[in-house]
């Protein structure tokens, strides 16, 4: 249904409109001093558009304890200087970054299954952060670091260009209403940022259970010169074996939603 040419054309048109709105999201956070500063960023920005709403939620006692006692050992500040990932993890290894890990369940499973890889998980929801720290503690993992702040300034300021092996975006907030579409994190300026941070053959893996958002993702990424589609066929239900099921995915499946896995590889320059 969503593959109809008219729907695709509408998605492309919406994607173009949202790209210009989202430029203000990216302009609101200063880049690291090493990164070029486009003219737009030297002007004051009216209001940052964020891809999330900060919901504090209730921390359980165990989550609160994990945050106060264990988080500092694995936390990376959301803003500051560029990171040297080999210093952060104490070794040279491929690095995967997940934006919006939710309760951390799938990140934990991926990191436990791939001890030779390093993982950075980003999430603003404190109970989710606490839950992931508890999991790291329980499994004794040493290959995960956590950022408990907005992913956009973290990527801009702290991640060197050409340094990530994979960028994971699983079931990002779909922002269903048309007036909220500008909040969707997948937009052309955001794709520009990801293209810079991935290594030259790095992979961006998006998954969603919201068909119109899948259309939108495809419209943005199929048109982006830095990416080439790496999913099979239409990308629907093409979950690679290494992606565990997530909490939000299960919710979507309960609602009879189809799941879309969209994989894009960066084109080597």
Which sequence positions are flagged as catalytic? 173
Letter string b/e over residues 185-194, b meaning 16 or more CB atoms within 10 A of that residue's CB: bbbbbbbebb
CB closer to ligand SAM out of 54 and 267: 54
Find the residue with minimal CB distance to ligand SAM: 100
Minimum CB distance to ligand SAM, residue 242 (Å):
15
> 164: which 2 tokens?
């990530």
Least CB distance to ligand SAM at residue 60 (A): 17
The answer for residues whose C-beta is within 8 angstroms of residue 62's C-beta and 6 or more apart is 130, 134
Q: How far is CA 245 from the centre of its chain?
A: 16
C-alpha to C-alpha distance for 4 and 235, rounded to whole angstroms? 15
- Shortest Cβ 25–ligand SAM spacing (Å): 9
CB of 179 to ligand SAM, least distance (A): 18
Cβ distance to ligand SAM smaller for residue 149 or 222: 149
Report angle CA 35, 222, 198 to the nearest 5 degrees.
Answer: 35
User: Site residues (CB under 6 A) for ligand SAM?
Assistant: 51-52, 99-102, 122-125, 128, 150-152, 170-173, 185, 246-249
Alpha carbon distances (Å) from 56 to 125, 154, 170: 7, 20, 21
Whichever of 248 and 260 has its CB closer to ligand SAM, that residue is 248
Nearer to ligand SAM, 88 or 109 (CB): 109
| Three-class SS state of 236 | strand
């Amino acid at each position: 249904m969503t593959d109809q040419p008219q729907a695709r054309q509408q998605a492309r048109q919406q994607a173009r409109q949202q790209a210009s709105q989202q430029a203000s999201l990216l302009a609101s956070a200063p880049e690291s001093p090493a990164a070029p500063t486009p003219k737009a960023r030297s002007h004051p920005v009216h209001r940052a558009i964020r891809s999330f709403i900060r919901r504090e939620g209730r921390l359980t006692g165990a989550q609160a304890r994990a945050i106060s006692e264990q988080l500092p050992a694995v936390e990376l500040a959301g803003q500051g200087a560029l990171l040297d990932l080999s210093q952060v993890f104490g070794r040279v290894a491929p690095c995967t970054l997940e934006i919006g890990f939710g309760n951390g369940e799938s990140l934990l499973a991926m990191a436990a299954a791939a001890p030779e890889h390093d993982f950075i998980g980003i999430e603003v929801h404190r109970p989710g952060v606490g839950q992931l720290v508890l999991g790291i503690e329980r499994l004794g993992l040493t290959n995960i670091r956590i950022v408990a702040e907005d992913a956009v300034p973290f990527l801009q300021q702290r991640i060197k260009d050409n340094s990530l092996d994979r960028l994971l975006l699983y079931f990002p907030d779909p922002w269903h209403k048309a007036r909220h579409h500008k909040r969707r994190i997948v937009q052309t300026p955001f794709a520009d940022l990801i293209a810079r941070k991935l290594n030259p053959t790095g992979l961006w893996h998006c998954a969603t259970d919201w068909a119109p958002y899948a259309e939108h993702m495809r419209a943005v990424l199929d048109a982006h010169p830095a990416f080439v589609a790496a999913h099979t066929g239409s990308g629907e239900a093409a979950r690679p074996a290494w992606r565990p099921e997530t909490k939000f995915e299960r919710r979507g499946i309960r609602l009879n939603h189809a799941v879309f896995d969209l994989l894009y590889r960066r084109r080597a320059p």
